[in-house]
Structure 1
């Protein structure tokens, strides 16, 4: 598979790095030689200096041999024109454009349906707002993802000393809890991700990823001693595009919202847009202001400014002042592994959201969804199995899955199955697989060669 990436920024760099590690043929195009130098230093890919919207540059980069072009620069216009130009030169190449401007929101479907030069439009800011909403819905969760069209939840929670799960072997959990549908997909211990076995023991301070039916989520959370609580008050620090999108969505859910924004002109714009949210002009890192605005009564404080150091400071301050939960926007991926050491775990990144959106379109076998976990340490892949699959027709305990992978969910018509070793996958089942990063290429090969898709 040859993939052409337009843009060597954070998103382009990390997609190139990810795909290069999976032995894909990747070419990165950017006008900035310094950005390309960083790419070549850390990844084994080809680079071309020039504008991704230039026909000559695209031809030099090999657009006619490319299976996919990903236009992920910081310029929406460049991305759209790059896809248009690529369609003229190579109509068969699949084209994905990263578009962030809210003005384009109503036209995403039109682009996909009526503009043949763009197969998919990805707005990472829309995706990151959805991520924040999922985190808000499960108090204290480090990660919350929807699978099987929202019928299944993948949740990552830190295990406390007080939990009934503390010290239990996974083979004993269903007996101790009476919940035969509780399935642990992964354990992160000392920043190392573990694919669990029946004899694996859960320990205090583990980050536990588990699968739960949406209707049974409250029961699963009770096992962790974290009851499902309604969110009534949210403070948003930073009234940029992400903050504004989030506030408008929360208003519709009848949640009381306060927005703190340092730019007075932006405050005036936000006040016109909002129907019920309170918009305050001020510095979100001002302790006196936060105290005056009753931060201790907030269910969630979301730090969404354009400066990640400020976001980290605000989240730490909010915790100290008594906020129940904090969500912190981070841009640099190198910061993500460090956050847990300072007590910040509910992290969102528009760039990581963009990568998740892009991955599902890159994976072979027309994968339905692909979700990166714990800063790309692992991936959850959702695919459809037909009769030709090696996964079909035998109990899972008899199927040789690649090391570092695990089938964590099966959806059959309207039935949701949390699998055991005796589960037999049938044709047309939707299969959800957890895989450590180094195992993903083997899973992808399995899905593209051994599985057929609708």
Structure 2
């Protein structure tokens, strides 16, 4: 596949890295010569210095032969115009744009992004995507990651195995026998810096991070089975009143009105605006790195600190300070992957990686076959994939015990007609089933083949 990426920042780099690893023909455009130089020196991609919406630059990058354009510059308007130019002048089949401003996303303007107006096939709104991720993590405080699939009926939950975890040193197939009505399957294990596909004879050890695919309504019970009984936060402090912080606070006000929220926002005008638009949230104008401001927000009595500013450093330091001042738990938004590795050592309980959320949304549209959703984990070492089975799929009609799946794939759940089914040896996948599975990076191409649209289908 020939792909053009407009924007060589962190998100553009991450997308280019994944696509280049999979032998796609990738060209990257950016106005910064230093960013283009960095990406071409470290990745097997072509780089072009220029404006991503300029026809001449797109032509140099091979837009007339491109299968897809992904516009992820810092500016919504450049991303939109790049898609328009790619469509009007070069007839690029698929166009993806990152659009951050919520002004463009209002329901009454939904017709704006049709093929007759601004021809954008996929819109990624990172603030909303990340906001939803933060809310899921708040709802399940014992999980280090929570992602939804199959119209929110299936969850992928990453759970850390602590010393008091009741299921340690027990073969996974025995867990299925002990809890036959629990719709949950351990599909992956991250242990000592390495990611493995789980097998039925494997056992979980202290320090493991287990990737569990389960029915959404069984998420809390699954966490309890792993020894995580943490209660949801009743008192919360949010550092940063930007789009994400405001979205999180507003949603919690609507869904959990008893939760007491305080927001710390450094810009006075923004603080006033957010305060006016929220009903029960207290907004404090000041720096989340100021100990006096944190104490003014009663951080010592808070159950959770969520640091959602635009600065990784501010998020990390304010979350660490909150824990030192007595806050029960802390979560931080962190873009830079090198910072993510130090979070546990300084007391931060969880982090959200907005770059990973955006990249995962892009990948589901790059994947071949009937791939409906993708979520990359552990810096792309594996993916949790939701795919729809067509009648031509080699999976259809074969009992699970007879399926010869590649070693890097484990099926976690099947969604059929509104019901979540846990796989067993007798289960046969039917046409139209939506399968949620765990696949290592090396096995993704096998997943695409299993759910491909055969020529005989037409």
TM range (shorter): over 0.9
Does 2:18 match 1:18? Answer: yes
Distance 2:113 2:367 in 1: 19
| 1:195 Cα deviation after fit | 0.6
Does 2:324 match 1:320? Answer: yes
Q: Provide closer, same or farther for how the CA distance between residues 363 and 233 of structure 1 changes in structure 2, counting only shifts above 3 A.
A: same
Distance 1:278 1:346 in 2: 24
Classify the secondary structure of the residue corresponding to 1:328: strand
Q: What's the counterpart of residue 52 of structure 2?
A: 52
1:337–1:375: 8 Å Cα contact kept in structure 2? no
1:66-145 equivalent positions in 2, closer than 5 A: 66-106=66-106, 109-113=110-114, 114-115=116-117, 117-145=119-147
Q: After superposition, what is the alpha-carbon deviation per residue over 1:200-235, rounded to whole angstroms, capped at 9, x for unaligned?
A: 111112111112212222321221222363443221
Q: After superposition, what is the alpha-carbon deviation per residue over 1:301-325, rounded to whole angstroms, capped at 9, x for unaligned?
A: 1111222112111222222333232
Q: After superposition, what is the alpha-carbon deviation per residue over 1:148-181, rounded to whole angstroms, capped at 9, x for unaligned?
A: 1111111111112112112211122133445553
Gaps (5+ residues) in structure 1? none
Distance 1:115 1:343 in 2: 49
Structure 1 length as normaliser, TM-score? 0.94
1:365–1:452: 8 Å Cα contact kept in structure 2? no
Gaps (5+ residues) in structure 2? none
2:138–2:232: 8 Å Cα contact kept in structure 1? no
| 1:29 Cα deviation after fit | 1.1
Q: Provide closer, same or farther for how the CA distance between residues 200 and 301 of structure 1 changes in structure 2, counting only shifts above 3 A.
A: same
Distance 1:396 1:362 in 2: 28
1:259-278 equivalent positions in 2, closer than 5 A: 259-278=263-282
Distance 1:237 1:282 in 2: 10
Root-mean-square deviation (Å): 2.1
Aligned residues: 454
Among 361, 365, 372, the alignment partner of 1:368 is 372
1:264-413 equivalent positions in 2, closer than 5 A: 264-413=268-417
Classify the secondary structure of the residue corresponding to 1:271: helix
1:216-295 equivalent positions in 2, closer than 5 A: 216-227=218-229, 229-253=231-255, 254=257, 255-295=259-299
Distance 2:421 2:251 in 1: 32
1:176-191 equivalent positions in 2, closer than 5 A: 176-177=178-179, 179=181, 181-191=183-193
| 1:292 Cα deviation after fit | 4.1
Distance 1:453 1:375 in 2: 35
Q: Provide closer, same or farther for how the CA distance between residues 72 and 168 of structure 1 changes in structure 2, counting only shifts above 3 A.
A: same
Q: What's the counterpart of residue 447 of structure 1?
A: 451
Q: After superposition, what is the alpha-carbon deviation per residue over 1:3-36, rounded to whole angstroms, capped at 9, x for unaligned?
A: 1111111111110000000111111111211111
1:64–1:93: 8 Å Cα contact kept in structure 2? no
1:410–1:416: 8 Å Cα contact kept in structure 2? yes
1:328–1:346: 8 Å Cα contact kept in structure 2? yes
Q: Compare 214-223 and 107-116 and name the one that shifted more.
A: 107-116
Classify the secondary structure of the residue corresponding to 1:448: coil
1:17–1:42: 8 Å Cα contact kept in structure 2? no
1:112–1:120: 8 Å Cα contact kept in structure 2? no
Q: Provide closer, same or farther for how the CA distance between residues 340 and 423 of structure 1 changes in structure 2, counting only shifts above 3 A.
A: farther
1:157-176 equivalent positions in 2, closer than 5 A: 157-176=159-178
Structure 2 length as normaliser, TM-score? 0.93
Distance 1:451 1:259 in 2: 55
